[in-house]
Each structure stands twice: as structure tokens, then as C-alpha cells.
Amino acid sequence: KQFDRSVTVKGLSQKEFKANIVLWPIKFAVASNDLNDLNKQIESNKKTIIEFLKENGIMEDEWTIPAPSINDKLANSYSNENMRFRYSANQTINVYSKNVELVRSAILNISTLNKKGILFRVNDYDSKAQYFFTNLNEVKPIMIEEATRKAREVALKFAKDSNSKLGKIKKARQGQFSISSRDQNTQHIKRVRVVSTVEYYLDD
């Protein structure tokens, strides 16, 4: 029955790290009544944005350009006959980079292209930059060690308060790692968290 006496405790390890990857979708829209003119606007805007990226140190292998999405309003049975432009297009240039700070600096400067007539789509749910932390395996060992140490500190205090001695580990369970942003304004700072649950034997 001596081995029936035990205490279960939890230890938390929580640390903040800078994101090491950024995905930045640059979306713009153009409209025209002439399809050829629409395509010219798309190509002109693409060229201007690519020049901007190069000027800001973003390399060619860090962006991709999928085909634009073009809408013909006359082909839409629900379209308004008094529409101003028949054709509209949305184009995205996806920046995927490990140079997070470099891209963040470019994001702050992107508004300068508004003066060149480029209409960016900034309110779409998928038009905001996303930040990722992919070095979890590198920080796992030290965080598990810290969580386990904190759990043992709690168990030692419990044993002392109950006039017992802390024995060996009876059972241990590592919780799942979670990664979240610090807050909405600092998406590039990631908060990594893990909770370890450890059960210790208690001796008289």
C-alpha cells in the first residue's frame, strides 16, 4: 500500500521565438472594358511590384506568380447592366521567404506603390502576411527539461507540506506543443507552450 501514495503535478514551459518563415500574398485588382487593356494592366502592375521586391532585397526564388483570376460580368446572369467595367481581374504574387525581417520591412513600404496606381486588396482574409515557426524540434529538448523540472519543484513542495518524501516517478506524460502568435499586432513573434504531467510516489 505504500506504493499507492502518489502525487500528480504539472510543469509548464513557455517561451517566445521569432518566426523563421513568412508567407506574404500581394494581391491587386484591375478593371477594364477591354480584355487586352486588362492584361496590359496586369503585366504592368506585376512588373512594378517585382521591381519593388528586388529593390527591397527579396530574391526571385522567393516569389511565385499564379495565373490571374479574370471575371467577365456579362457572363454573369446576376450582373448589373449599368456596370462601369465589363472585365475585372485579381492577381496575387506570393512571397515565401526565410528573411522575415526583410519582408516585414517591405510590407511597411508597400504603400508607396499606391502612388503608381496599383490598387491592393488588403482587406481579404487571405491577403495578410502569415508567419510560421518551424524550428520546434530544436527547442523541444530544453523546453521538456524545463517543464519536467518545474513539475518536480511543485511535487517537492507538496511532499514537504505533507511531511513526506518525494519518491521515484510513477508515470509521466508530455503534453502537446502549441504554437500561437503573441497577439494580433505581433504575429511574427510566436509563443511556444508545453505542459508535462508527472506522477511521483510519496514515501514516509
Grid cell listed for 194: 508545453
Cα distances (angstroms) measured from residue 81 to each of 71, 78, 85, 86, 176: 15, 9, 10, 9, 56
User: What residues in the chain have per-residue pLDDT under 50?
Assistant: 1
Q: What is the pLDDT of residues 6-37, one digit of tens each?
A: 999 999 999 999 999 999 999 999 999 999 99
Tracing cell 494581391 back to the chain, one arrives at 27
pLDDT of residue 61: 95
